[in-house]
Structure formats: structure tokens, C-alpha cells
Structure 1
């Protein structure tokens, strides 16, 4: 193993916090290892358009993973949901550490839950999936695109620019801001993004020593869950432009995958739930994807393309 192991990450507070969590676990497992964190700027950090209006994959990881491929860093730490399912063949997701909560949460300065917000309240989100679920629950509120890191979005609520915002619980918790959470949505009623709450550590596929080191902090339960969720995405071809919610829950050697897809106007919602063996997580994900497609999930994509054009006008 190298004397100093270089670790690539974005410079955001959340990315740094996730990297430190991973490194704390690695230092415990490998007391003699020395790490150097290298901050790398990505397109997603500088492009201020709403995420779902960008017709690109991997806007928060591409530059970081390029540094891994070139050998400029030994591995990279990401939010798993930022990694496209078609990761470069030169790279591998070598490790999924223990997963944090996959739930979405509501942040509101007045302590109001979603059903307590006044009609016409402005709620911010960066996600089409969250937007359509919000509008379905509260058709009388105004859901608008919001960008910026986690802290910036919370500040926009405090300043009154937004009445509330929906974020991932894991992100707020990791940067020490869980006290701003007003309401925690259940994963079955408000289905999160595939991979939400999970950290992925990426390295070169041929770097056997680094892979061996990283796998010492692998969490089998988290790996099974995200394997099912990502197999589902890959087959349905979801992504930011198509709001697909999916979350897998393991219990012993069994795993249950919940998936949800909405039409652009919110009038139609396809929901699928299926349980299988945790050892066959990928097979379960593909099976649920088949059920979604059979019920018309991909036909909803055209409606969403039109919806994105409308959101672009608002942004």
C-alpha cells in the first residue's frame, strides 16, 4: 500500500463530511494508513440550473472519477445517487459503507409540517420526484426549483425566499443540521431516490490493493439494497428527468423493494412492491423494473419531457 493514499472528493460541506466518515472507518480498520484529501470541482458545482433540466449524467462525479482513472487520486467518495448506472468500465464501486437514512424530510422555519403549510406556500426542491409527490399531497401549494448546497437551501427558507424545502435526511444529518428537520416522510408514502443515504467509494477496477482495503468497511446490507435499486434504474432508464422513486429494505436474508413512478400531471401513479432473497438483489431489481415497464412506466417519459420544458421556463 502507498505511503499516502490520495482521496478525491468535491469541495462541498456534505461531500467533505461524507469523505471524513469513510476515512474514519478506514483509519480504524487500517491504523497505519495515511490519507490526503484532494478537492475537485465538478460541473454540478458551477452550473446553477435546476438539476432535472440538465440532460447529462454524472454532473457531480465525472471530473472526480476522471482523476481516479488518470491515477491522480487512488479512490473517490460520492453520494451513491450521483453515480450513473453506466459507470466507466475502468472503474468499480469498490465499497458501500453503512447506509444512513434514505428518507426525505421537510424543513420549515415556522415548524409547520407539510399538511400545516398555508395554501400558496412556496416549497423548494431540486427533484422532479419530490416535486410531483409534493403536488399530489398538497395541490394548493407552489413547488419551485431550488439550487445550491444543503446549507444554502436551508438559508433560503430562513430568509423567507421559500416557505419550506424538501431535502434528504442523510445530508442534513451528516453536516450536523438535523435540528432543522420538521417532518420526516415515510419511505413507502414518499418514496426516495434510488441510492439515497448511501455512500459509494469508487476506484480503478485493476487496483486490487485499494479494493481490498476499501472492502474492509463494506456493509453487506447496504450493498444488497443499492444493488436492487440500481438494477431497477438501469433497466427502466430513470435519472433526473424521469422521477422514479425506489427504496430497498433488508430484514435478515430477505429484501423488499418498493418502487413508485408518477405521470407528469400526477394523475397516475404506478406502485410496485416485491420481496426476494438478499443474495439475489440484482435479480429483484430487474424483476420490479419489468413490472413497472409492463404497467406503462416508460410511456410516462414523454409527458415528463414536456414537463421539464415548462420547469425550464420557471427556473
Structure 2
């Protein structure tokens, strides 16, 4: 093999944030394997989720729209692995693929952004909050039922531009995404985890590869972060037992502290009026089971009518 041969082709969405994440994966791989970054090619792929800009994703098939075309390319062999925002990855993957590596997690918190108020609590009654997230909509209305929520779609830069043009009085974005594209300064206020529970997987970058590709799996294992994997095991098992789509607003976050984990989970109605929360603590080896147990508790407490009314499984 020559020094310029490509070791692997990385598939990614083409947004500035997705490309930043792909470059982070590439740079970490280059350092881990002591090769030039150019040995890893990056192939942008336009997904259905990127193409749909006129309505909420839940009306078009859910968050799997951000991964479908990437998985098709992965299964066809035109890319060697895909890089995703973990919060965009559906609960259930094709049988032939798996999440083979998670990078160290960035800040999982949500950011409030507005040119008219310093915080959500300071927005005047009737102000419009723009967001594409059903979870953020529900949690905003839980805290401020007097506000209005409109759908704003697009990448980070597009949403900030729409806010600047007056399409909304405020918006909410993942702090991790702002940091990765160098726009952290746009955050007016940062919510704490306890007051505004993030989406499952928020802040974590996931690598999806083919299960039987031992060479690629060994390559990407070198950049995996064990604590992030443990946290995501808890969060994704929680999500799996509640709702595989994005029709029920769900929040979940796991903090890993040495050999222990601390998990919080929430389900909430889209109007923010009905919600159920729970928490778990335990050994990191039990992360997946603790997340699943938390989900079973919330299903029992909320009842199946909750999921029927609010678009669950």
C-alpha cells in the first residue's frame, strides 16, 4: 500500500455541522493510526431529511430520514462507515450494521438563542419560539404555555439566519452543534440538564459500520470512548422501549461517573401539559437494563393511552 492509498471512505450528510463531525472523526482516526488525514476520504450524501424543509420530520417519516441514504450507501459498499449525530440515529438499525464507535461526548445541553430576550422566562407572552424538535416544543410549552411554537427547519446556519430575519423571536439548538461549527457565541443562555432534558444521544457522534467488516471495525474502535458508549447504551435502550419514531416527545440523559451511572428520562405530551419523569442510578455494567427499566416504569405510569394519543409505537 502506498502512502496515498485511501484506508476508508467516510459517509456523511453534507451540512456544515455534519461535515465538521466527519472531519473530527477523520482527524481522530489519522492521529490514532499515525497516518495523514487524507488517507480517509469523506463522501457527502444528501439525505431525505436534508431535502425536506417545509414540514416537521414526523410528518414525513421520522428521524430515520437523516440516516436512510447513508445506510443504503453503507450496505452497497460505496462507503466504509457512516458518521451520524447520535440523536438522529433510529433506535433500530439494519441487521447488517451496528454503531461500532462513539466519540467522546460534547456538551449535551440545549442553548436558548434570541435577539429579544436573555432567557426563555423573559420572552413576552405570545412570543414565537421556532424549533423543528417536538421535544423542545413540548418542553418550551411545559415551562411557558403562553408562548407560541412554530416549525423552523434547516441546518444550524439556516436556523440562525431565519431567526435574524424575524421568523421567530427565539430558537433552541444543541450546544454541541454550535460548538462544532464555531458558533457557540450565538447562545444567549445555556439550559442546565436538570431544567431542560436533552434528546437521547445529544452531543455524541456515532460511527455506523457493517457488522462483518472486521478491518473497519478495528479501525474505528481505536477512537471509541467507553464512557460515551455506556451512556448511549442506557439512553438508547430507554428510547427503544418507548418509541422508535419521533412522534412522542422524549428526553433522556445518562451521566457516567466512574463505575456508576446516573440516568434521567422523560416523556411529555406535545402541548407540555402531561409529563412523566424518572431516574435511575446503578453500575455502569447495567446501563442498558437501567435505561430499559426506566422506560418500562414510564410506560406503566403513563398508560398505553398516552402513546396512542401522542403518536407512540
2:52 to 35, 47, 56: 47
Counterpart secondary structure, 2:287 = helix
Q: Do structure 1's residue 281 and structure 2's residue 287 form an aligned pair?
A: yes
- The correspondence of residues 94-243 of structure 1 with structure 2, limited to 5 A, is 94-110=100-116, 112-243=118-249
Point out where structure 1 has 5 or more consecutive residues left out of the alignment: 307-315
Q: C-alpha offsets along residues 118-155 of structure 1, whole Å, 9 cap, x if unaligned?
A: 22111101111111110121122111111111111111
Alpha-carbon shift at residue 55 of structure 1 (Å)? 2.9
Find out whether 1:92 has 2:95 as its counterpart: no
1:12 aligned onto 2:15: yes
1:26 correspondence with 2:32: no
Does structure 2 retain, via aligned residues, the 8 Å contact 1:270–1:297?
no
Cα gap change, 1:248 to 1:298, in 2 (>3 Å): farther
Residue pair 1:90, 1:204 contacting (<8 A) in 2 also: yes
Q: TM-score, normalised by structure 2?
A: 0.94
- Change in 2 beyond 3 A, CA 1:278/1:177: same
C-alpha distance 264-9 of structure 1, shift in aligned 2 (>3 A): closer
Unpaired runs of at least 5, structure 2: none
Give the Cα separation in 2 of the matches to 1:98 and 1:305.
33
SS of equivalent residue, structure 2 residue 28: helix
Q: Stretches of 4+ moved more than 4 A in 1?
A: none
The alpha carbon displacement at 1:242 in A equals 0.6
Describe the SS at the equivalent of 1:236: coil
The within-5 A match list for 1:264-279 is 264-279=270-285
Q: Which shows bigger deviation, 1-10 or 59-68?
A: 1-10
In the other structure, the counterpart of 1:77 is 83
Structure 1 residue 116: Cα displacement: 1.0
- Cα drift, residue 110 of structure 1: 3.5
Q: What's the C-alpha RMSD, in Å, of the aligned pairs?
A: 1.6
Distance of 2:61 and 2:71 partners within structure 1:
19
CA deviations on 1:63-94 (whole Å, 9 max, x unpaired) are: 01111111101111110111111101111111
Counterpart of 1:65 in structure 2 is: 71
Distance 1:298 1:220, change over 3 A: farther
Structure 1 residues 244 and 298: CA distance shift in structure 2, 3 A: farther
Q: By how many angstroms is 1:238 displaced?
A: 4.5
Contact 2:198 2:252 in 1 (8 A): yes
